[in-house]
Chains A and B, each alone.
Chain A
């Protein structure tokens, strides 16, 4: 985990309440990620960190090597539907690597790990039977 700072904190605090938030310009409506308090489009500094439904589509993914006793981790780059397609990086769960598809619809899910809550994604319509991918 890198160091939190005043720019990243609003998103991270949202995660702790299971809210997925992204930076959103109050002047021109542009969504952007990573969070900061100036709009890259119109330079307005009226930025809010607004909650989204958390649906999106897979842009790409990779399968980082794990030790043999650990579950498979799928690291997915997802374009967020209701946040202007901003890319967001998180784990995929409730899905085997062979089931991954480009543009597949996914929805945000949550994982508790060491007292911290993180967003992750699952395929739309899939349910999560057990926490996956998270070493405690």
Chain B
């Protein structure tokens, strides 16, 4: 067992996730943040750290707004972050470990800005800030090309190089949708089978509508503190056993040729280098699913090495359950993932779900057998953060 100081998640909260919330992004985030603090049992004045996803990809709210919105009077550490959400979570964990704060609130919210939603385009109150997701300042050299969807080209490359098929990607989508049926948070809960996936419209061939998370309104939040402090709070603490990230050697997303998952493998190697656990002994698996190809690459990084994802999916598929059971045992994205909760979450849903499962409070969708460990691999090669959660 680890002797390193660890951080625990002690509170979780979320807003309603919906296609049209009828409120602004500030309300959504403040609501989620409030609920996370309430869930922790802490007084609001105990919160002395705040970090939120505010960076690229259309900013929503910076920590100062949340301080104002919730009247947090004792904040002595804050930071901003960018998607995926586990980056914010790990920043909070680092701040707590370093002693910059004792109880860190971290949050992420998304909003259907005019530029991310056809419906939003006609709504004068959904105009985005004058800030463009252009992390490499190179969009002037790209947008004429027709498709900004780099993941579609990575998906085609993977299918060509490793023999993965649309049926393999279908099983990722179906697995997640099947789980979503018992997740009241999920926006997309209509039953789906492989045939339904194959019939869904292409958005950027070979990527179809069901290979990608859809824009929604919503926010999620968690509170973290040290393991020692966590033991004095109401919930059994869910411990952050380790976290890690890795970048590939080329990070121009639109030009991403690193479809072999090098960065994902680098991340997973570091994630497990500092723990006694191995990927295969972890009870619950939450590979990122903003695009189904990312799930494929994370499954390979975690379990098979380069190119083995399709075989793993085929050998893990249960026709009866319409779900994956890795090695006959490990369920995948038990909440339905981003594909079912929508793009409000960008990986925070994985964190909330894993926390609920490890606490044993996932209700109807509680995985039997007292799961003790969960691995969350968040994001894509050029923007990722992964975390291993455990219960003692």
Verify if B255 is at the interface (C-beta below 8 Å from A). Answer: yes
**In the complex, which residues of chain B have a beta carbon less than 8 angstroms from the beta carbon of A88?**
255
In the assembled complex, the Cα of A111 lies from the Cα of B142 at a distance in Å of: 14
> Is there a chain A Cβ closer than 8 Å to B147's Cβ?
yes
Pair B138/A62 contact, Cβ less than 8 Å: no
Alpha-carbon distance A9/B78, docked complex (angstroms): 37
Question: Cβ of B206 and Cβ of A62 under 8 Å apart?
Answer: yes
B149 engages A62 (CB within 8 Å): yes
Q: Are A63 and B205 in contact (CB under 8 A)?
A: yes
**B268 at interface by CB-CB < 8 Å:** no
CB-based contact B140/A8 at 8 Å: yes
Contact: B154 with A97, CB < 8 Å? no
B257 proximity list for chain A (CB < 8 A) = 59, 77, 79, 87
**A24, chain B: closest CB distance, angstroms:** 16
The answer to whether A62 and B140 touch across the interface, beta carbons within 8 angstroms, is: no
Q: Does A89 contact B (CB under 8 A)?
A: yes
User: Contact mask A77-90 → B, CB, 8 Å, 1/0?
Assistant: 10100000001111
A56 CB, nearest partner CB in chain B, Å: 13
Q: Does B190 contact A (CB under 8 A)?
A: no
On whether the beta carbons of A77 and B153 are closer than 8 Å, the reply is yes
User: Is B2 an interface position by the 8 A CB rule?
Assistant: no
Contact of B140 among A4, A61, A77 (CB under 8 A): A4
Tell me whether A87 and B204 are in contact in the complex, defined as CB-CB below 8 angstroms, given that A3-B140, A8-B140 are known contacts. Answer: no
Q: Give the complex CA separation of A5 and B147 in angstroms.
A: 22
Which chain A positions have C-beta within 8 A of B367? none
**Nearest-Cβ distance from residue A38 to partner chain B, whole angstroms:** 14
Closest to A79 in B: B257
A79–B134 Cα distance when bound, in Å, is 22
A94 at the interface (CB under 8 A from B): no
Query: Which of B136, B139, B153 is in CB contact (< 8 Å) with A61?
Result: B153
Query: Whose C-beta in chain B lies nearest to the C-beta of A11?
Result: B141
B138 touches A2 (CB 8 A): yes
Task: State whether the Cβ of B207 lies closer than 8 Å to any Cβ in chain A.
Answer: yes
Q: Is the CB of B137 within 8 A of A7?
A: yes
B137 A5 Cβ-Cβ under 8 A: yes
Separation of A102 and B159 alpha carbons in the complex (Å): 11
Distance of A53 from chain B, by nearest CB (Å): 19
Chain A interface residue count, CB cutoff 8 Å, equals 35
User: B252 near A: Cβ within 8 Å?
Assistant: yes
Q: Decide yes or no whether A57 CB sits under 8 A from chain B.
A: no
B115-168 residues at the A interface, CB under 8 angstroms: 132, 134, 136-147, 149, 152-154, 156-157, 160
Question: Which applies to chain B's interface (DSSP): helix, strand, loop or mixed?
Answer: mixed
The CA of A5 and the CA of B160, in the complex, are separated in Å by 36
Within 8 A of B (CB), among A87-134: 87-91, 97, 102, 111, 113, 118, 133
Which chain A residues in 42-80 approach chain B with CB under 8 Å? Answer: 59-65, 73-75, 77, 79
Report the Cα distance A79→B254, complex, angstroms. Answer: 13
Instruction: Judge whether B202 is part of the interface by a CB distance below 8 angstroms.
Output: yes
Judged by a CB distance under 8 angstroms, whether B203 is at the interface is yes
Give the docked Cα–Cα distance between A61 and B146 (Å): 11
* Chain B residue nearest in CB terms to A90: B145
By a CB distance below 8 angstroms, the chain B residues around A75 are 145-147, 153, 204
Q: B140 contacts which chain A residues (CB < 8 A)?
A: 1-5, 8, 12
Q: Within 8 Å of chain A (Cβ to Cβ): is B201? A: yes
Tell me the smallest distance from the CB of A122 to a CB of chain B, in Å.
14
Most buried by A among B139, B146, B160, B254: B146
Once bound together, how far apart are the Cα atoms of A10 and B323, in whole Å? 51
B235-260, CB under 8 A of A: which get 1 and which 0?
00000000000000000101101010
- Select one of A74, A79, A89 contacting B142, CB under 8 A: A89
**Chain A residues positioned under 8 Å from B154 (CB to CB):** 60
Q: How far is the CA of A113 from the CA of B257 in the complex (A)?
A: 28
Find chain A residues with CB under 8 A from B136 CB: 34
Q: A1-B144, A91-B144, A113-B144 are in contact. Are A77 and B204 (CB under 8 A)?
A: no
CA distance A74 to B146 in the complex (A): 8
Chain B residues within an 8 Å CB radius of A65 = 201-204
Known: A34-B141, A65-B203, A87-B257. 18 other contacts (CB 8 A): A2-B137, A3-B134, A3-B140, A33-B252, A34-B137, A35-B141, A59-B157, A59-B257, A60-B153, A60-B157, A61-B156, A62-B207, A63-B204, A63-B205, A64-B152, A89-B255, A91-B144, A133-B146
7 smallest beta-carbon distances between A and B, as pairs: A2-B139, A62-B152, A63-B205, A64-B147, A75-B147, A73-B146, A60-B153
8 A–B contacts, CB within 8 A, in A order = A1-B139, A34-B138, A34-B255, A61-B153, A62-B156, A64-B147, A64-B204, A75-B147
